[in-house]
Amino acid sequence: MGPWRNGTNTVTLRYRLVIWDFDGTLADTLRLALAVYNRLAEKHGFRPVTDPMSVREMNLSEFLTQYSVPAWRVPLAFASFLAEVKSSSAKIRLNQHVAEAVRVTAELGVQHAVVSSNDTNVIERCLSANDLREQFTYVRGTSRIFGKERRIRDACRCCQTEFGDALYVGDEVRDVAAARAAGVHIASATWGLNSEVALRAEAPDFILDHPLQLAEVLRASACWACPAVRCWLNVKRAPETACGKAESTAGRASFFRIKPAVRTIVVSSVFQDH
């Protein structure tokens, strides 16, 4: 991986690989997913979603209970769901600023991959339509609602990256669990399915409110091991992350909540001193 140059200092980034979720994170598929689910709900006797905002606070288990979807019917229902999404894949668009975030972070020397529950062909078609396919070393859809952790590890192996040097970017609570099971770090994106409140409850390594914040995470993570940064973060933790969470996670998440001007001063001073 090529180093990132900060002024006269050359810094090796902490993360060598960014693995993206597709639905809700890279792509704006939420409205399509809701429409497809409600059609299937009418067909199979599930409860329809009438309040999309309430769904943002639920994990998968809570959703299945709330909307009367029996667990034993999930595999077949999800297969039907993917088939309908695939037939409407021409309507799928990327979320705003995601393409720019991919290109900016690729210029830092980071590899990119996609691991999603969606169909591989749907993902490939969307990336190609947005002139982004060449930015991704690995693209794989599991076509299953569970099992992302296996593909995340496969992505790391394909990209010749240690698990600890990879960062998964996802918009769901289950993405946090999948990343941890795979042994990689997780950046939770608040612009997708689950809300910031629901994501914070899982204590991800980072919280992203905007796609372009990913570049800030990658740059700042280069100095995370420096004692000066760790000491500073422990003093400046944001109130909402200081209660009941692991100190390291709270510090890292709060670092990207502080004002950019202050954050730049902290990172720059560390690079000058170390």
**pLDDT tens column, 65-108:** 999 999 888 888 888 888 888 888 888 999 999 999 999 999 99
Domain ranges within the chain, ordered by starting residue: 30-91, 223-274
- Does residue 34 carry a pLDDT above 60? yes
Contact, 125 vs 89, CB < 8 A? yes
| pLDDT of residue 191 exceeding 90 | yes
Residue among 176, 153, 177, 181 at smallest CA distance from 166? 153
Confidence band of 243 (pLDDT split at 50, 70, 90)? very low
pLDDT at 13: 86
Full-model pTM:
0.79
Instruction: Name the pLDDT band for 5 (thresholds 50, 70, 90).
Output: low
Residue 269: left if φ>0, alpha if ψ -120 to 50, beta else—which one?
alpha
CA angle 72, 74, 78 (to 5 degrees): 155
**Tokens 């959703």 belong to residue:** 63
pLDDT of residue 226: 52
More confident site: 227 or 222: 222
What three-state secondary structure class fits 154? helix
For residue 202, give the DSSP letter: T
Q: Where are the beta strands (DSSP E) in 142-255?
A: 166-170, 185-189, 206-208
- The one-character DSSP state at 145 is S
